[in-house]
Structure 1
Amino acid sequence: MTEDADDRKPQSDEARSAFTPPQGVPQAPPAENESQITSEFALPEGLAAPPAGEEAERSAFTPPATYDARSAPPAFTPAQGIPMVRLAKNSPWQDRMRAMIRLPVAERPAPDLTQKTDDAGPAVPRVLDLTLRIGELLLAGGEGAEDVEAAMFAVCRSYGLDRCEPNVTFTLLSISYQPSLVDDPLTASRTVRRRGTDYTRLAAVFRLVDDISSDDADVSLEEAYRRLAEIRRNRHPFDTWALTLAAGLLAGGASMLVGGGIPVFVAAALGAILGDRMAWVFAGRGLPEFYQFAVAAMPPAAIGIALQLAHVEVRASAVITGGLFALLPGRALVAGVQDGLTGYYITAAARLLEVMYLFVGIVVGVLVMLYVGVQLGAQLQPREALLSVERPPIQIIAAMALTLAFAVLLQQERSTVLLVTL
């Protein structure tokens, strides 16, 4: 059996390659000479090669033949160069700091040491801590991100820290200082948890920053800490009950501006006072501002619906409008727009989103009470809100009442409230 298998196995000279054509297929003639093999890039037969001429050497900056200097668009950089930012020393520190913040660190001028330090140099951790505390008060008071960064930058440069970078967002402040390019940076940050507008405190903080950045005043770190602690300890010019009465006065004045009388003034003021106290209760329990605004919007709407159900001859829409006027977050809206115009888009987006949520809370509170009123049979007349009433003397007095209420709500200094009202 083994011998038969060996006999059938082809010998080595009979073995064929897999690429050998089978029998009966004509084979291609072998190449006569190796030089006949041509490249696929060679010119075909019958096509003459172009004459080899010497190509002129050109520069990479040589304009093309189709370029015309007279019809070319104007260049971005003018012939006289780009004007640099000039920082006049006699200009306010706010303008100088805003201009330097927008410059790269390497292009900022050397700081003028306005405050004396020890021979060993400024105490960097204490300067950064003081800077963050000042920025925290400003941001918590509702100031724009650019103003907060300018104040922080002014404090650092006044104490000799030139390579510092303040950064302000909606609730976070941070500052980084690097002594040189080879040293490790030192970074500190603080978070703003609670915000409330107090113009008296803001004015005191700006006076402190102005004294620190001034050459005429000598404010050491200890003196700056003492004044800052005094600012934080000082109470607000007006207590909570004064703010509540101011909210009622604001609502009453707004209701008279839209055509209300004395009954409407009293009803709108009462609704705003009740809403303000309910918001204070919710704030004391730690509820977010969305629910505070939603609850504060319910009493004015409820009083307006109650007057409508009692068939009292008053404009219920004026009562609701006046009561809601005290809830409008105008200061936050202005700060958000300011941050957007100055280029702080993240902070601006956060502020505007907060304003949107507060508006939604107000709308939710009003709609809930209107739904209850409709279920009780109240005949709502939305067209009343579109009627305009012209009473110049009464409206001027109402506008003065609005100004007085706003000054109290913003915690303006007592000595300036009467001047602001007039």
Structure 2
Amino acid sequence: MKHRAARRRTFPQVRETINVMTSKAVPHHKINRSYRPSSLQEQNMEKQQKRFDTVNQMLEKVSSKPVNTNLNQNNSNISTQNGIDEDVDESEVSIVGYLKAKPIKFQTLDELLKNFPSVRAALYKKRTATSAATSTETITSHLSSLQITSQSTLSPIQSTKSAWRTRRTYALIGNELSLVQSILVGDENESFGSIGDQPITRKDIRTLRGLTWLNDEVVNFYLALVARESGTPGNLRVYAFSTFFCSKLTKDGPTHTSWDRWMRRANITLFDYDLILIPIHQGNHWALTTIDFRSRCIGYYDSLGSTDDMCLGRIYAFVEHMYATKRQISPMPDGWRVQAMHMIPEQANGSDCGVFACQFGKYLAREWPLDFTQAQMPQFRLQMIYEIYTKQLIV
């Protein structure tokens, strides 16, 4: 009994002690250590300033005048974005130097030029690339120097074929249509021969049915078929690269030492031709690039109306490299330009891009006006099956 009473007497005291301890711990807002608040934006600004300082250090090595990298400058005072700074030493500043800075990460080249206006000014004044630059640097330099020519300012090349209107581009007739239907039936691995090193099988030809996407073998074979007429009476001298060309160009670059051996092994003398056809495969889309030595134009034909500046830059650098190695002409002759073609037939679905690319090659090689439309694609598919099987283009 005494023990229980003692417990009853001590319990309230323990409870009071707990309440006192709890009440002392409540005011948690008091912190003994010093604290300076800092926002995420301020931290990002500090990081960005460090990056700009890194670039500025590099600028001092390649330019006699350092660039102002103050992040707090008023945007309204940056007048050099659309103009040219007269004080920039254009003989020293190079865009290659900026892109070498691995710590600097900009989303676009325009963002780099925006923050460093002297670079933009120097590029407007000096549009040449160094001969000792690597392939990536060369392409970047070309992209900043190439000027896209408006198609409306180009004078059309007169066709050497006065009877181009007599061409047949529509429905196949009786026996031809029956032959096409029979070609599609049978073993898919059956071979239908080859042109050069471009083979073709029934499985490949079946990609021309309906709205199926064309595979590499069909596009390569058809353009090789177009180029086979090269040099015949009334036809241009045409060469067609396969899709392997762009793959190698992307992997090795336009100035790799293996190009001379590769061109010699394939027995390709680039300057012997009037027109070069280059199929471009962008994963799920086909386009066609051409090198026209008559008009000195690198053209990009895309049935969706888009363009690929990096592709044009690589091919431009490749042609420049060929001039330097095969003709000992450096820099390349004046008048060369790149042209993204927009006034051309456009596709109205997501599956006929390969057919458009093949027809672009055929029409350009034969100097026909690009006057076909989306409505003709079903007939073009049937014609291509017949042409591939007979290895003869329909006129």
Query: What's the TM-score bracket when you normalise by the shorter of the two chains?
Result: under 0.3
Please, what TM-score do these two structures have when normalized by structure 1? 0.21
Normalized against structure 2, the TM-score is what? 0.22
- Select the structure that is richer in strand: 2
Larger radius of gyration: 1
